[in-house]
Structure 1
Amino acid sequence: MFSGAQISLYPMSDDFVDVILKAIEALEPYRPFFRIETDDVSTLIVGPPDQLFPAMRDLFVSAARSGKHCVLSATVSRGCPGEPDDPICTPMTASGNDLPLVERIAEARNAVTRAETSGQIVAAQFSLYPLGEGHHMDEIYGCVDFLKSSGVFNRSKNFCTKLRGDAGPVFATLSEAFLRFGAPQGHVALDLTVSANSRTAA
């Protein structure tokens, strides 16, 4: 199954180049498991779906520890029918995604409680899109139920859900939403914005 993310990082600082380049170094431990390509617009990471959000977490936390206001924007996808399967990607068969919805919500909640903290507070808003035929609204409502009990739920907004808390549990919540909701072999996309160190946090 093809899975990956296009990521853009925006440090609000005159030394944004140094902040970005240092943050990209945080992806080094993932290089054996990912195809990583960086250009002047974004960084593409392609690889195992369960490692996408840990990689983004480490990238963003590295940038945010500069103390500068930083924003990450990402489009994340798994099972895209328009992309050939990549040998570095792995299927979703062991994710528990085929369990009944109520069990997936409980498993996702338990996974977030085990997430390690990073010491970096972040805010995130995202939208989940389980694409294709089927009961996609059931999956979305189930995901929202999980988010409200995740411990990092902030509020519902038009077209998205806002999270706030330590980067560890926040990115773990995003990962669980991405992995456990939507058909196991179906196409699921997630649109994400994460912010840290904003002077106008609300």
Structure 2
Amino acid sequence: MQCGLSPIVGFRFSLHPMTNDFISVIKGALQETDTSNVWMHTDDVSTVIRGKQVHVFNVAKALTLHAAKTGEHVALSGTFSAGCPGDTSGDAYLDKGDNVANTDTTKQYVSSQFALYPMNNPNYMDVIYREVERAKELGVFNESMHYASGIHGDIHDVFAFYEETFTHARSEEHKHLVMTVSMSINSPSHGGL
């Protein structure tokens, strides 16, 4: 992370398994994921994880992967945020090292969309275009669309792109960044990709 930026990153998300047994998919993913490096709270609508960027993205990917490994069609919708004024909950987790706790390398196709909101940055479109170009260079860009950009590929490549984008879209001058992400995994419409 760039020097001087607020070290707290948060991710509020909802996981939606397309099965009558959705409770066991969600609880199973939570049990299989090591969340010891992040502050976490779940309510009746969503879950929020907070802490150092490296751990927030690691836990987000692990939770998604463990839910996907059930083979059920899973949708995830969430918002990453950093630099929010007054953001302090989870600061007790900032003393964690950078070694990630979740290291499952199982391959898993993900189709996703993201939207980037560099807050208070008058050149926000330049930032967005730059990150879309990065996606193309990394081979994870899928398509342009209204209000979002399509990103797809193996879950590890997709989350690596999102984490890189989250780092590069912030600056010392423009610290507040919001990024929304929607994912679909194991959908019949993926056509065996």
After TM superposition, the score normalised by the length of structure 1 is 0.80
Match of 1:146 in 2: 134
Q: Could you tell me how far 1:131 is from its partner in structure 2?
A: 0.5
1:70/1:49 CA distance change after superposition, 3 Å: same
Pairing of 1:12-51 with structure 2 (within 5 A): 12-27=18-33, 29-31=34-36, 33-51=37-55
Out of 116-125 and 38-47, give the one that drifted further: 116-125
- Retained in 1: the 8 A contact 2:39–2:93? no
CA distance in 2, matches of 1:186, 1:79: 5
**2:65 paired with 1:65:** no
Query: Per-residue CA shift, 1:77-117, capped at 9, x if unaligned?
Result: 00011533642465xxxxxxxxxxxxxxxxxxxxxxxxx95
Aligned residues: 177
Query: What are the ranges of 5 or more consecutive residues in structure 2 without an aligned counterpart?
Result: 1-5, 95-103
CA distance in 2, matches of 1:165, 1:78: 25
SS in 1 for 2:139: coil
Paired-residue identity, %: 35
Match of 1:118 in 2: 106
1:37/1:85 CA distance change after superposition, 3 Å: closer
Query: Per-residue CA shift, 1:3-42, capped at 9, x if unaligned?
Result: 2011110000011000000111233x232x2111111111
1:145/1:21 CA distance change after superposition, 3 Å: same
**2:83 paired with 1:79:** yes
Query: Aligned match of 1:165 in 149, 153, 163?
Result: 153
SS in 1 for 2:175: coil
Q: CA RMSD in A?
A: 2.2
- Retained in 2: the 8 A contact 1:10–1:70? yes
Match of 2:189 in 1: 200
